[in-house]
Amino acid sequence: MARLRPIALDMSLADRLAAGPGAGVSLYWLGQAGFVIDAHERRYVIDPYLSDTLADKYRSTPFSHARMMPAPLSPAELGVVDLVLCTHHHTDHMDGATLWSLGQRLPDLRFVVPVAARAIALDRIGVDAARLVEVDAGERLTFDGFTLDVLRAAHEMVEQDDDGRHRFLGYGLDLGGARLLHSGDTIPFDGQDDEVRAFAPDIALLPVNGRSDGLRSAGFAGNFTLSEAVALCKRCGIPTMIAHHFGMFAFNTIAVEEIDLASQYGPVSLVRAREGSEFRLDDA
């Protein structure tokens, strides 16, 4: 079982990533639901949003998407990336500006996307279809360095397209000695506990910005509340949780003080995603 050890960086994230992935496993937060996972000399990136695409889109609307936190680096500063994973089609998870840049710079880079979002992914990323790894819930794939389990997510419903393919996904990464769950954007739903228990994660990366009727009626789907995310970990025996999906858009976030206060109570070891930190996974 892996143990999480937060370490404050003594350099910029760009400089740290420029050194390349090492032999161990480390995570770095990119903001919102985005993470870099360096594992056994390979680099995987999940849901990177490193642009102002949404600020431009919503500039003249009541729901400003101006970034509360600047992008910690540019797509180029991610360095050599071995695989990108997108949990669903919303722009803060499948950002064309970020992904197109990566795809152009790294001609062999492949992108894991929901098969239900194939057309959107092709349009935004701008790569040949052969570079997409199209997945659906219930599948298990093996890549160089890890095994990927694809789970359902509900943002805010378990949605399927006309062909029964799931629009919102979560990803379980078995990195050999460390099992990470990135739930994608989700709320609780029937059957979720069974799917999570079957993967048996050591560490869960869970959104905690919550949801409201007002945002839902305006067309913005919500996520776990902080208490719901912690409760999932308790029920499923997940020892460690990294809370994320906050601090990006002022209309749809949670106060960091609320997360920090909850981190004082067990039995789940709750860690707030932080800029300028490395989350290193050590063998327990």
| Domains of the chain, residue spans | 2-283
- Topology of domain 2-283 in CATH is Metallo-beta-lactamase; Chain A (3.60.15)
Q: Which of 18, 35, 19 is nearest to 27 (CA)?
A: 35
* Confidence (pTM): 0.97
The residues, any chain, with a CB within 8 Å of residue 283's CB and separated by 6 or more, are: 1, 2, 3, 177
Predicted confidence pLDDT, tens digits, the chain (284 residues):
778 999 999 999 999 999 999 999 999 999 999 999 999 999 999 999 999 999 999 998 999 999 999 999 999 999 999 999 999 999 999 999 999 999 999 999 999 999 999 999 999 999 999 999 999 999 999 999 899 999 999 999 999 999 999 999 999 999 998 999 999 999 999 999 999 999 999 999 999 999 999 999 999 999 999 999 999 999 999 999 999 999 999 999 999 999 999 988 778 999 999 999 999 998 75
**Confidence (pLDDT) at 284:** 53
Q: Which of 136, 181, 141, 180 is nearest to 158 (CA)?
A: 136
Q: Which residues pair with 180 in a beta bridge?
A: 173, 203
List the beta strands (DSSP E) in the chain.
2-8, 25-31, 34-39, 42-46, 83-85, 111-114, 132-135, 140-143, 146-152, 169-174, 179-182, 203-207, 240-244, 269-272, 277-283
